[in-house]
Amino acid sequence: MPSARKDPVVGVVGATGLVGRELVELIKRRRLRVGELKCFSSGRTRAFVSFHGRRLAAPAPSERALADCDLIFLVSSDEVARMYAPALAGRGVWVIDDSAAFRLDPKVPLVIPEVNADALRLDRRLIAGPNCTLTGLAVAGAALHRALGVREVRVASYQAVSGAGKAALGELFSQSRALAHMGLRADGRAPILREGSCLVLPRAIAFNAVPQIGRFGSDGYSGEETKVAAELRKIWSAPNLKISVTAVRVPTIRAHAMAAWLTLAQPLSPARARALMSKTRGLTLHASGSYPTPRSAGGKMGVFAGRLRQGTGPRELALWIVSDNLLKGAALNSVQTAEVLLKKGWLKHR
């Protein structure tokens, strides 16, 4: 049950969305110290959220209502974050923002607790959470980077449709149902699927792979690819890191997967790399011959990696990484950050 009122008052903006509902559930499951939980929508509709058997109203947010909280989780849009986060943080409210609005702001810590919890500062109340794709790579490669220094990264991500929200999932399901009725052709051959109509994603996603997440820039990289590269440099404190990303949307429901190639400053064997990586908190490293998949990692905490092997030379390692984009990629990372604040004694009821 919720704690006494002396514990922090916690607000969740975007509580009715995919990530927001996961976050509210995690607050309960991990028994985060909460004197009172206030839920808000993203400002479009009034809805309700279940918490400890109670039905909590989730009205549109207002700065006045949010200012009564000691901690605000923002799991909404960049626009909502820009509207509320700076003012709230200026009033002494801790704000953990899951949007992209402040991730690259040099004055805002971009935090994955297993990797760079030391970036948290008592005088910086606005904290950014990372891109959900980046999280798995940042955690899996952290020990290698600390020990030897990662000089270059090449990565191809295979991203679940839930990363694009409820409407995108609806599009996946409706397209899949329509195509499933086609079956095999009369002559026994597999049907040839043409690009269908789509409203949310740039191409039809059912039974397809779409190498575009976000708009393309003048350099040919999509918005997602550019964000992953910039955020990894910030989290690893590696401004000169060379990184090339190809982001692909695939018809899975939850948990992003990626194939990564890491070039180190010095030669390193897969066996020694395994020994280093096995000490990383929050990382499950599969044995040789085993590997995670979006279905095996979906709904689970942490980051999962497998297929660790030598790359094209003695300084390059290749591996496969999967993590749930709604959990470690978003809601879980935010709750873990709040737990660090509590452990430090910084998060209190005012």
Burial 289-318 (b: 16+ CB within 10 A, else e): eebbebeebbebbbbbbbebeebeeebbbb
Residue 350, pLDDT score: 78
Contact 39, 54 (CB under 8 A): no
Cα 75 from Cα 62, distance rounded (Å): 15
As a whole number of angstroms, the distance between CA 73 and CA 87 comes to 14
Q: Please give the Cα distance from 136 to 294 (Å, whole number).
A: 12
309: nearest Cα among 237, 238, 251, 259: 259
Catalytic residues: 132, 256
Q: State the virtual CA torsion across 84, 90, 93, 98 in degrees, nearest 10.
A: 50
What pLDDT does 317 receive? 98
Locus of tokens 């002494």: 92
Confidence of residue 349 (pLDDT cuts 50, 70, 90): confident
Report residue 183 as tokens. Answer: 């079956």
Q: How many CA atoms lie within 13 A of 131 on its CB side?
A: 27
pLDDT-based confidence at residue 1 (cuts at 50, 70, 90):
very low
Q: 6 falls in which pLDDT band (50, 70, 90)?
A: confident
pLDDT score of 8 more than 70: yes
Residue 118: strand, helix, or coil? helix
Say yes or no to pLDDT of 4 above 50.
no
- Strands (E) in 59-141, as ranges, are 71-74, 94-97, 126-128
pLDDT, one tens digit per residue, over 58-110 is: 888 898 999 999 999 999 999 999 999 999 999 999 999 999 999 999 999 99
**Which domains can be identified in the chain, with CATH numbers?**
9-130+330-344 (3.40.50.720), 135-325 (3.30.360.10)
Q: Which of 113, 131, 50 is nearest to 338 (CA)?
A: 113
Higher local confidence (pLDDT), 222 or 1: 222
Strands (E), the chain: 9-13, 36-40, 47-51, 54-58, 71-74, 94-97, 126-128, 150-159, 242-249, 256-264, 283-285, 303-310, 316-323
Interacting residues of 64 by C-beta distance below 8 A, sequence separation 6+: none
Task: Find the mean pLDDT for residues 156-177.
Answer: 94
Q: Which residues contact 171 (CB under 8 A, 6 or more apart)?
A: 161, 198, 199, 200, 201, 205
Q: Beta strand 54-58 with 47-51: parallel, antiparallel or unpaired?
A: antiparallel
Distance CA 272, CA 148 (A): 11
22-58 pLDDT, tens digit per residue, is 999 999 999 999 989 999 987 666 677 778 778 887 8
At residue 177, what are phi and psi to the nearest 5 degrees?
-60, -40
* CB-based contacts of 219, cutoff 8 Å, min separation 6: none
Arithmetic mean of pLDDT, 206-212: 95
Radius of gyration of the chain (CA): 21
